[in-house]
Chain A
């Protein structure tokens, strides 16, 4: 009696399995791959996934129109995707072969894309001839295992922002910000006023935001061949120990890196932190909030002034059928004249050295950034930059909170990074 019901149940379950298998079978035959698309007037459409904002997108469209006027057979279709999430979007799209022809990606993403064999080597189009026209530090983020797999389209770095009013309040000359770390500490002691809740500085504690420390102390994080982690070397240890001292010994850092604290940006905007590292993207915001501030070079350490590199690169995917056309467009897009126009209009730093002389900004702060950019050192290049941060940030925090000494933390860290990050 029960047997009957079992049989019907089994039949239904078998049916369900069959449905699932059928779906799987269609899945294995592969996704509907992208077909080449044409414009009404017969041009081949190249899909370009970008992450620009409204004003940048408008400028991009103008540049595309110019380029199309010179090239009869190609058309670029700009498709905006959100910057938050452009990595998972590209990863999944590439998994099923629905990626674009070219894309604008965060600088840290090029290495993963390259090592997972998704990108086109630019050497075949003669990139070597023009590569030296690009700024070194941003270009270096495209140099993966001996090949150039992308080119920079937008670059940023951080410099030292300081609050002139707080300098005056502390009896310091607002036109003479610190030039070296020693001066920074000296002035910092005067700028800190615990009663009023103002601090000389507030810093993030992630690796990217700490790179100016490492770079001014002349520390290299990852060896040139990408196999060794050099965080346990003397310069790196001294850099991180100096950062600890700012917080723990000199007590001039606000502890802005702690979870739940006021971020450097907020603290600076509200006149609580006198000096912070910040990039050019916040210039309009601080200016509009009527803050009396200046921008100066990162204080010099043993290796002089230096900074980190941020920004984005543009890459060409090897799933596209027309990499050469993409390359032509992207080199046009980053050529000196186009860059000069783009940067002057949008108040951004050029990626092309030749464009440096062509841009002139009304904002003197931006000129400081252009100056600072020249001293930038390349960021560490690893397959998963997020993963590197996941290992480095906790150890740096352990040093800052005094739970570990800098040398002990960095020794464990270097071993861990080599084993778990660099071996990928």
Chain B
């Protein structure tokens, strides 16, 4: 990579104006950027054509889809080249436009962007790998592209895994006359999980923010002691609670209901702790001001605390949603399998999986489906808790 650094790039005439070291750094970063861009875009565009090909050859064999992909390969190359060129021209134009004195700052930003991009690649690689694997036919999940080991996009994709998960090709169950059996499908399980996870997440965040507020900002005799007890209970691994909680849920006659799935997990000490710690960073002067204005306790909570804590509340909501969305063991033991309305998604997915399947592609495509609502939720919440933070909540 460093071979280019000896001479300045002739295409950057303004380079002659800057110090040679800066030019060298710029060219190095520039080359790194192009390499990164070609790597990322090549894989992304290939992935897109792969998805298109897999759908085009629906029902057909993977080889046919591979054929389609090969025909589209030139498009991938062209698009990658175009993107790289566009990025290159932007970078060079910015470099030229930047005043000589600000070039150091420019290089620092440039470097920062490259590092962040590389970090994003590392962090998001599991997602990409999951998506790619879910398109691989059974048995080929670990086949490696011998010509380019970095290329993880399957050469012969199939959408068979997705249709299998959706049970679209199981003719028997779909045609069942039994009304109970007919409900045993992906859609029912999905809706059940959605209800369970969102209800639980809503209640947990509500109760935890109320509790967190007390522990952070209000008076209560024995408050530190009570908090200590709560903290101590967190140290006991959750699986110890399972049997007694199951026993209690059953004795309340809730076996096989959605209430049974959420009720024992509503008292989230973790949530209280998280919100308490954050609410402590909210200046007390704001609460005092509201109190002087004659706000009631509930109004203070709703108008002052909740909006300021929104980023964290949404984070807790997302995490709670997630944990209920993927909580297999507890939902398994309280499920009444005679009643499809009590089967949630993780349990339902285990139902199809059967005894001897270790099909990576199948598992990954199921995971793809199960993260869809979370991604949607995230994209929606992101407006508040990622962008919201840039607004600067408190300015005194």
Contacts and interface: CB of A to CB of B under 8 A. Distances in A.
A–B direct contact (CB < 8 Å): yes
B277 to A, nearest CB: 24
A291 B338 CA distance: 41
Interface string B156-176: 000000000000001011000
A83 B353 CA distance: 8
Contacts of B337: 49, 79-81
B387 to A, nearest CB: 39
Contacts, number: 108
A95 B139 contact: no
B350 A270 contact: no
B248 A54 contact: no
A84 B350 contact: yes
A85 B329 contact: yes
A251 interface: no
Contact of B354 (A2, A53, A88): A53
Interface in B127-156: 137-143
Given A30-B251, A32-B253, A265-B358, A288 B143 contact: no
Contacts of A51: 354-355
A175 B141 CA distance: 29
Contact of B173 (A2, A54, A281): A54
A17 interface: no
Interface string A44-60: 00010101011100100
B332 A23 contact: no
B355 A54 contact: no
B246 interface: yes
B251 A83 contact: no
Contact of A6 (B140, B221, B247, B354): B221
B251 A27 contact: yes
B116 interface: no
A269 interface: yes
A5 B221 contact: yes
Contacts of A26: 251-252
Nearest to B178: A61
A356 interface: no
B168 to A, nearest CB: 13
A257 B142 CA distance: 17
A31 interface: yes
Contacts of A58: 172
A399 to B, nearest CB: 26
B248 A27 contact: yes
B250 interface: yes
A26 B251 CA distance: 6
B358 to A, nearest CB: 7
Interface in B235-274: 242-243, 246-248, 250-253, 255
Interface in B306-364: 328-329, 332-333, 335, 337-338, 347, 350-356, 358-359
A95 B246 contact: yes
A23 B333 CA distance: 20
A394 interface: no
- The interface residues of chain B, by DSSP majority, are classed as loop
B222 interface: yes
Contacts of A288: 138-139
Given A6-B221, A26-B251, A266-B141, A92 B333 contact: yes
Interface in A190-212: none
A82 B221 contact: no
The interface size bin for chain B is 35 or more
Contact of A82 (B255, B332, B359): B332
Contact of A31 (B172, B222, B250, B335): B250
Contacts of B173: 54
A73 to B, nearest CB: 21
A420 interface: no
A82 B354 CA distance: 7
B273 to A, nearest CB: 20
Contacts of A5: 221
A262 B332 contact: no
Contact of A88 (B138, B140, B252, B332): B332
A89 B247 contact: no
Contacts of A55: 172
A89 B332 contact: yes
Nearest to A79: B337
Nearest to A25: B251
A23 B139 contact: no
Given A27-B251, A98-B255, A286 B139 contact: yes
A279 interface: yes
Nearest to A279: B356
Interface string A83-113: 1110011001101101000000000000000
Interface of A: 2, 5-6, 9, 23, 26-27, 29-32, 47, 49, 51, 53-55, 58, 77, 79-85, 88-89, 92-93, 95-96, 98, 262-263, 265-266, 269-270, 279, 281-282, 285-286, 288-289, 291, 312
19 contacts: A23-B251, A27-B247, A31-B247, A32-B250, A47-B338, A54-B170, A58-B172, A82-B353, A85-B347, A89-B335, A92-B242, A95-B246, A96-B255, A263-B358, A269-B139, A269-B140, A285-B359, A289-B138, A312-B355
Give 8 nearest A-B pairs by CB, closest first: A82-B350, A281-B356, A289-B139, A27-B251, A53-B354, A83-B355, A269-B139, A92-B333
